[in-house]
């Protein structure tokens, strides 16, 4: 009787050991080896600590330096409430926004690499409502709201505009990644004017999309 009980205990112990080994093997299959995980974590910490490396590697961090995220909906609302009560009473937010899109004058990539004042990314000062430029929605807007504004996108985004803005920031600030509110307001105000000034020469529009604006050349011309 005692011998039988001892044999049963040995069988249960062997079975439990097999289950543990199997779960260990499954864990190793699902996760990389510990040294590899540590190396990956170390690299991530290094990039997070020195955010300028993202720019050098052609990458951008997921959030801004202040932990915020670019949000077009919030930006549109900020621009809407910037208007006076009298102007808002004449229409609804939905009609005012129809066929138009909120555009970040200083693009979100800049906020991921450089430290702008907290809250500036989705502030009305950094935003502008533009004709969408998209086939499905562009003609739905109230065109009297836009006048000489450029359209937001030619196809899907404005990557050239973003790239040239980053080039300007990199040349001007270098390793200094903190940007004052005064500088941020100056940049946004200058870019706003460029977005409103759709150039026409001899009846032909020189540019009409955000991507046709080159912030690097614009600020270099102004020498500030």
CA distances for 157 relative to 24, 49, 103, 132, 178, angstroms: 46, 29, 11, 11, 27
Enter the pTM of the model. Answer: 0.69
**Which two structure tokens, joined as six digits, stand for 194?**
């460029």
CA distances for 122 relative to 52, 62, 64, 110, 126, angstroms: 22, 16, 11, 13, 7
**Which two structure tokens, joined as six digits, stand for 83?**
């208007």
Q: Are 61 and 48 in contact (CB under 8 A)?
A: yes
pLDDT of residue 140: 84
- pLDDT tens over the chain, length 224 residues: 545 556 666 556 555 555 445 444 444 344 444 666 666 566 555 545 555 555 555 555 556 666 788 899 999 999 999 888 888 888 899 999 999 999 999 999 899 888 999 999 999 999 999 998 888 887 788 777 887 888 898 877 899 999 999 999 999 998 668 899 999 999 999 999 999 876 655 556 555 899 989 999 999 888 65
- Of 54, 77, 57, the closest CA to residue 65 belongs to 54
Q: Which residues contact 1 (CB under 8 A, 6 or more apart)?
A: none
pLDDT of residue 14: 58
Number of residues assigned to the chain: 224
Q: What end-to-end distance do the CA atoms of the chain give, in Å?
A: 94
Q: Are 211 and 160 in contact (CB under 8 A)?
A: yes
pLDDT of residue 156: 72
Q: Are 209 and 149 in contact (CB under 8 A)?
A: no
**Which two structure tokens, joined as six digits, stand for 160?**
């050239």
**Which two structure tokens, joined as six digits, stand for 109?**
């990539």
Q: Are 105 and 127 in contact (CB under 8 A)?
A: yes
DSSP reduced 3-state for 151:
strand
Q: Are 107 and 165 in contact (CB under 8 A)?
A: yes
For residue 90, the cross-strand partners are none
pLDDT of residue 135: 82
pLDDT of residue 31: 47
E-assigned strand segments in the chain: 100-104, 127-131, 200-201, 204-205
């Amino acid at each position: 009787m005692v011998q039988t009980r001892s044999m049963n205990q040995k069988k249960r112990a062997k079975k439990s050991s097999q289950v543990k080994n199997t779960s260990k093997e499954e864990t190793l299959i699902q996760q990389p080896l510990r040294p590899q995980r540590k190396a990956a974590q170390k690299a991530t910490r290094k990039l997070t600590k020195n955010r300028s490396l993202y720019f050098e590697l052609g990458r951008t961090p997921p959030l801004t330096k202040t932990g915020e995220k670019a949000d077009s909906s919030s930006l549109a609302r900020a621009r809407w409430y910037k208007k006076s009560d009298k102007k808002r009473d004449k229409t609804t937010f939905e009609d005012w926004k129809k066929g138009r899109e909120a555009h970040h004058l200083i693009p979100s990539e800049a906020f991921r690499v450089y430290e702008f004042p907290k809250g500036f990314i989705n502030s009305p000062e950094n935003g502008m409502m533009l004709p969408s430029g998209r086939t499905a929605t562009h003609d739905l807007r109230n065109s009297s709201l836009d006048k000489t504004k450029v359209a937001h996108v030619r196809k899907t985004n404005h990557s050239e505009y973003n790239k040239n803005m980053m080039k300007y920031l990199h040349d001007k600030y270098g390793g200094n990644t903190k940007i004052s509110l005064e500088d941020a307001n100056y940049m946004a105000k200058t870019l706003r004017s460029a977005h409103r000034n759709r150039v026409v020469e001899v009846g032909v529009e020189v540019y009409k999309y955000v991507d046709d604006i080159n912030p690097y050349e614009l600020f270099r011309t102004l020498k500030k």
